[in-house]
């Protein structure tokens, strides 16, 4: 199993249309590449990010911690999409933000190089 951190690019990454302030994105499993060696899908990954405390995904997670959310990540090697579940929510001292950890549910695919 490969573990590799990807570099977040800009602030266009989202979970269920909530913009993420990404901390890290870490692949957990093998990356599938095309014939030229360009990554095309990732079997699993973790996302560590900050979101507004009032974000709809936090309210949905409170109602059902097993909720799945669409994710779109803009990383150094392209744009990826798939689904995640929130595996952890950390309530810190900032009254406006919470830190989340999300885990991919199924593969993420690259939709734009």
Nearest in space to 108 (alpha carbons), one of 86, 84, 81: 81
pTM, whole model, 2 decimals?
0.81
Query: Structural domain tally of the chain?
Result: 1
pLDDT for the residue 112: 78
Nearest in space to 45 (alpha carbons), one of 104, 107, 113: 104
Per-residue pLDDT tens over the stretch 81-100: 999 999 999 998 899 999 99
Collect the ranges in the chain with pLDDT lower than 50.
1-4
Q: Which domain holds residue 61?
A: 4-112
């Amino acid at each position: 199993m490969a573990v590799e951190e990807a570099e977040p690019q800009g602030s266009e990454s989202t979970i269920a249309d909530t913009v993420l302030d990404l901390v890290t994105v870490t692949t957990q499993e093998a990356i599938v590449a095309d014939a030229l060696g360009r990554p095309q899908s990732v079997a699993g990954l973790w996302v560590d990010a900050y979101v507004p405390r009032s974000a709809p995904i936090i309210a949905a997670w409170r109602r059902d911690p097993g909720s799945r959310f669409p994710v779109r990540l803009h990383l150094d090697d392209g744009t990826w999409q798939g689904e995640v579940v929130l595996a952890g929510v950390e309530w810190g001292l900032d009254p406006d933000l919470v830190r989340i950890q999300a885990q991919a549910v199924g593969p993420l695919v690259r939709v734009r190089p």
